[in-house]
Amino acid sequence: MKTYRVIQWTTGNVGRRAVRAIVDHPQLELVGLYAYSADKVKKDAGELCGIEKTGVLATDDVEALLALGADCISYNPLVPDLDVLERMLKAGLNVVSTSGFITGRNLGDGVRERLDQAAKLGGASIFGGGINPGFMNYLPLALTAMCDRVHSISMTESADVRDYATPGTWEMLGWGQPPGAEGPGLYVQSLNSFFCDALDLMADALAFDLDDRRTEVEYALAKRDIELSYMTFPKGTIAGQRSTWKGIVGGRTVITLNTIWQMGDDLEPNWSLEDGYHIEIEGEPTIHMRMDLLQPSLPGLSREESFIGLGMIATAMPMVNAIPAVCEAAPGMRTYLDLPLICAARLLYPG
């Protein structure tokens, strides 16, 4: 069984779960850790990520990390640094990332070509995704194998996000501000390009070209001050968002991707939440599927206290589990359509 040496890039909500998974994985070895914050530098990865000490200390020295001779980088910043990604790939380091791209076509003019070329020069592969966008765009494609005709596909994620304690994310989306003040920030643009990439992935798999992509965003306002431990959303400010991305062919919508995120239910409007995922395929046959992320029923198996924590695992793991396949893939930018089945190989729980 081959072992792959992995560097973890950042220790945020997703990165912490990735570190834990890399340390536990029988085919992976954690050999390096990058941290943005000066107060994390020289601290053990285990201390930063809530596990036993690993002997791997966090650093902000990019050159030192690139020189480690690792096989892969697990890259989880909120927004990708394209210059750093290019350096990683040219240095021959494979990359799996949750940072805002799948096909890379929507990152900007020439960016996909730039990263693809860097990967090929270094003999490396780069794979982007997460749970949504990412795996939850791949899952409906697998379900269409049961259809002889497909008219349209819809996938909706909805969640009460009060436990997602990342004020930077909400601030970059314009939450906690009056409507009209949210502005097209860097993260808003990144989020839009990420979901447009998801539309492209699904269209590629089903072998048709999109004529257009359309984005619609609605906001919900707090009916009272919403005071959380990490942030306050004053009355009348944005505390919820319903976003829709549509793939258009021949004048009609063939792919719809929805996200509904809310800080509780004391909002106007107050949309219906399922705290999960709902897939609808209109075809022959028509398929409806609901997917929930639930706490394990086995004692001792759970290490998370909330739905959001389970969501962070589900965001990190499609990338962590893909590391062996990405390291063995042909150089260049890769998607689910280029890789073998990604699953929890060798992760059978012994209890």
Burial of 84 (0-12, 13-18, 19+ CB in 10 A): middle
CA atoms of 223 and 265, how far apart (whole Å)? 9
Domain-located, residue 351: no
pLDDT band for position 336 (cuts 50, 70, 90): very high
Domain-located, residue 341: no
pLDDT average, residue stretch 247-274: 96
- Number of Cβ within 10 Å of residue 331's Cβ equals 19
Query: Peptide bond before 285: cis, by omega within 30 degrees of 0?
Result: yes
Residues 181, 274: one domain?
A: yes
Question: Is the separation of the CB atoms in 195 and 101 below 8 Å?
Answer: no
Residues 141, 242: one domain?
A: yes
Domain-located, residue 102: yes
Per-residue pLDDT tens digits for 89-140? 999 999 999 999 999 999 999 999 999 999 999 999 999 999 999 999 999 9
Residues 68, 37: one domain?
A: yes
pLDDT score, position 302: 85
- Quote the percentage of the chain above a pLDDT of 90: 88
Domain-located, residue 285: yes
Q: Spell out the residues 6+ positions from residue 170 whose beta carbon is closer than 8 angstroms to its own.
A: 176, 231, 233
Query: In terms of Cα–Cα distance, which of 324, 337, 331, 320 is closest to 89?
Result: 331
Domain-located, residue 86: yes
Residues 122, 223: one domain?
A: no
Domain-located, residue 261: yes
Per-residue pLDDT tens digits for 279-310? 999 999 999 999 999 999 988 888 898 888 99
Torsion of CA 161, 73, 138, 196, to 10 degrees: 70
Residues 78, 137: one domain?
A: no
Residues 107, 145: one domain?
A: no
Per-residue pLDDT tens digits for 151-202? 999 999 999 999 999 898 899 899 999 988 755 566 788 899 999 999 999 9
Q: Spell out the residues 6+ positions from residue 117 whose beta carbon is closer than 8 angstroms to its own.
A: none
Residues 142, 271: one domain?
A: yes
Query: In whole numbers, what is the pLDDT of the chain averaged over residues?
Result: 95
Residues 119, 199: one domain?
A: no
pLDDT band for position 274 (cuts 50, 70, 90): confident
pLDDT score, position 305: 85
CATH number at residue 261: 3.30.360
Domain-located, residue 207: yes
Residues 180, 203: one domain?
A: yes
Q: Which of 41-45, 189-193, 316-320 has the lowest mean pLDDT?
A: 189-193
Overall domain count for the chain: 2
Question: Is the separation of the CB atoms in 107 and 193 below 8 Å?
Answer: yes
Residues 76, 138: one domain?
A: no
pLDDT beyond 90 at 236: yes
Residues 64, 102: one domain?
A: yes
Q: What is the pTM of this model?
A: 0.94
Burial per residue of 173-198, b for 16 or more beta-carbon CB atoms within 10 angstroms, e otherwise: bbbbbeeeebeeeebbebbbbbbbbb
pLDDT score, position 185: 64
pLDDT beyond 80 at 40: yes
CATH number at residue 45: 3.40.50.720
Domain-located, residue 74: yes
pLDDT score, position 213: 96
Residue with tokens 């949309």: 271
pLDDT average, residue stretch 27-33: 98
pLDDT score, position 183: 59
Residues 219, 96: one domain?
A: no
Domain containing 219 equals 132-295
